[in-house]
Structure 1
Amino acid sequence: YSCPQPFRLQASGCYLVFQDQREWRSWGEAHALCQSYGGSLAAPWRFRELQEFLSRYYSDAFWVGASFDSSFGSWNWLSGRRMENSEWKRGQPNRNPGMKCVFLDKWSGYKANNFFCGEKYPFICEHGEV
């Protein structure tokens, strides 16, 4: 299996990482940029593989494809899968109603945190089934 350019095969998925500071985007901007490459913000079926992959990069945090779905009242991955408690950093998700988008951070071993969607962070895109 090969990935379309500029995605790179990593474990069971095709990923594209944007981590240089000039590339940082808000969650919505990041998702739109991923879509322009034919992908989406990373919403893996194998969460552990994504954590291991991110540990090779130097950025401290990355937007991923998960957010609060107000129509269902739950935190979901863009793939439609509901987020599991084990994917969250301890004490997360924060109850602040304005923090509806999810990033993974190095300090928690790349576990999920929720934050304001307009903040600019590095991000990771995926292409196809992961």
Structure 2
Amino acid sequence: MNNALSYLSTASAASLATMNNALSYLSTASAASLATMNNALSYLSTASAASLATMNNALSYLSTASAASLATMNNALSYLSTASAASLATMNNALSYLSTASAASLATMNNALCDAYTETAISSCLSMVN
């Protein structure tokens, strides 16, 4: 039993030393991991700051591009409204011309119908006389 206890205490001492070494290694590894994580977080925060600046620049570019697009659209709408006003005037002139031409055509058609009626009436009278 004495030998067994002596063996166990020696084995325990060796186990404790092994465990101590393992804990020391783990604490060193943990310290290294924390330093690595800290560096990574520092890198990420720097990258995030850079990303925010990039995003800010991109948003600024987009807002500038949007403002330019709005100005272009405004100019295009202004051009279209001017063109539409001109087109309406042209259409109005065309309709006025058509209505004048139609009135003239109606008068021409009316005259033709009157002539045809007159000729028919004369022909009827002549046929009755004959």
Task: Kindly indicate which of the two structures has a greater share of residues assigned to helix.
Answer: 2
Question: TM-score scaled to structure 2, two decimals?
Answer: 0.12
- Greater strand share, 1 or 2? 1
After TM superposition, the score normalised by the length of structure 1 is 0.12
Larger radius of gyration: 2
